[in-house]
Amino acid sequence: MYIAIKELHSFIGFMTLTLFSFAIIFNLISWLGKKPFTNVNKIITLVGMVSVHTQVLIGLILYFLSPLGLSNFSGVAMKDAQSRLYILEHPLIMIIAFVLVTVGYSKAKKLTDDNAKYKAIITFFFISLILILSRIPWSIWI
Ligand code: HEM
């Protein structure tokens, strides 16, 4: 079970980064090209957000199954940078990114002006992407 969820988290991680980055780039190009915010923008933005939601949900399950997750929580482990990344920094920063993505999407949904919609999505999603990229265990993953 643990291995299956770990592999899923790793695989969905690639998909999340691709779909989420694509949502930012697509909206950025539309905004710079002064194009209206269409249903296509809406769907691509929604897919980007849902990919982060899915990955966070799988991450939460993994946190309780992995020997690097909750079961490794101790004062000693917190003093080790790699252990601390999995126990605290990775989950916490990813959850903050999840909240920002959701807030950005909800804000954009309420706005009527296309320019303001683009700004809300691009700003919130971009900050989230930076946070996500900053706490991925790159050395182990790739
Ligand atoms: C957008 C959100 C997230 C992304 C992109 C992400 C990405 C990753 C990646 C790439 C790995 C390395 C996988 C591997 O070594 O094969 C990993 C490991 C891990 N992640 Fe996440 N993660 C996210 C959210 C979360 C959350 C919210 C939690 C917990 C609450 C979490 C818990 C873990 C744990 C415990 C591991 C270590 C698994 C192990 O090797 O045993 N992740 N994550």
> What tens digit of pLDDT does each residue of 74-103 get?
999 999 999 999 999 999 999 999 999 999
End-to-end CA distance of the chain: 22
Domain limits, the chain: 2-141
Helix (H, G, I), strand (E, B) or coil at 69: coil
- Give the tens place of pLDDT for each residue, 16-75: 999 999 999 999 999 999 999 999 999 999 999 999 999 999 999 999 999 999 999 999
CB-ligand 1 contact for 104 (6 Å cutoff): no
Distance (Å) from CA 60 to ligand 1 centroid: 9
- The residue type of 140 is I
- pTM reported for the whole predicted model: 0.94
Q: Tokens 């920002």 — which residue?
A: 100
Radius of gyration of the chain (CA): 17
